[in-house]
Amino acid sequence: MRCGQPVLAGASFCGACGSPLPNRGAMPSRGGRQAAPIPGSIPVGLGEGSDMSGTLALVPAAPGKRLGAAVLDWLAPVAILTVLLSFGFAGITSTRSAGLIIYDTSLLALLGSIGAGLALVYAFAVATVEGRSGNTIGNRLMGIRSADKDGYAPGLGAVFLRGIVTGAGILLAVLASVLVAVFKWFDAAPLILGPLLLLGTAWAAAVVVSSDWDRNGKLRGWHDRAAKTLVFDVVNGRNPVATGGIEGPYSFAPLDLPPVQHVASPVASRTPVVPGPVASETPVEPLPPAAPAVHLDTAAHPETAAHPDDAMDRTQVRAGVRQDAPEAVLRITLDDGRDFRLERTVLIGRNPAPAAGESQAQLLPVPDPGKTISKTHLHLLTDGTGLWVTDRHSTNGSAVTTPDGMRTALQPGVPAYVSPGTTVHFGDRTFNVGHA
Burial tier of 111 (Cβ tally within 10 Å: 0-12, 13-18, 19+): buried
Q: What is the pTM of this model?
A: 0.48
pLDDT at 20: 55
Query: Which of 229, 244, 170, 275 minimizes the C-alpha distance to 413?
Result: 244
Q: Give φ, ψ of 378 to 5 degrees.
A: -130, 150
Output 358-365 pairs: Cβ under 8 A, ≥24 positions apart. Answer: 358/42, 358/251, 364/340
pLDDT band at 254 (very low <50, low <70, confident <90, very high): very low
The CATH code belonging to domain 330-435 is 2.60.200.20
Q: What are the residues facing 387 on neighbouring strands?
A: 382, 418
- CA distance linking residue 275 with residue 278, whole number of Å: 8
Q: Mean per-residue pLDDT for 380-400? A: 88
Encode pLDDT of 43-77 as tens digits: 444 333 334 344 468 899 999 999 999 999 999 98
Residues 143, 224 contacting (CB under 8 angstroms): no
Q: Give φ, ψ of 97 to 5 degrees.
A: -140, 120
Q: What letter would DSSP give residue 276?
A: S
Share of the chain above pLDDT 70, in %: 68
pLDDT band at 292 (very low <50, low <70, confident <90, very high): low
List Cα–Cα distances, 332 to 336, 380, 398, 427, in angstroms.
Answer: 11, 11, 16, 16
Top-confidence residue, 205 or 359: 205
Amino acid at 139: N
- CA distance linking residue 366 with residue 350, whole number of Å: 5
Q: Mean per-residue pLDDT for 418-422? A: 89
Encode pLDDT of 306-358 as tens digits: 444 444 444 454 444 444 544 557 889 998 888 888 888 899 998 888 887 77
Encode pLDDT of 175-188 as tens digits: 887 887 787 777 77
Q: What letter would DSSP give residue 378?
A: E
pLDDT band at 24 (very low <50, low <70, confident <90, very high): very low
Q: Mean per-residue pLDDT for 357-361? A: 76
Residues 352, 365 contacting (CB under 8 angstroms): yes
Q: What is the mean pLDDT of the chain?
A: 75
Domain boundaries, the chain: 59-239, 330-435
Longest dimension (CA), the chain: 146
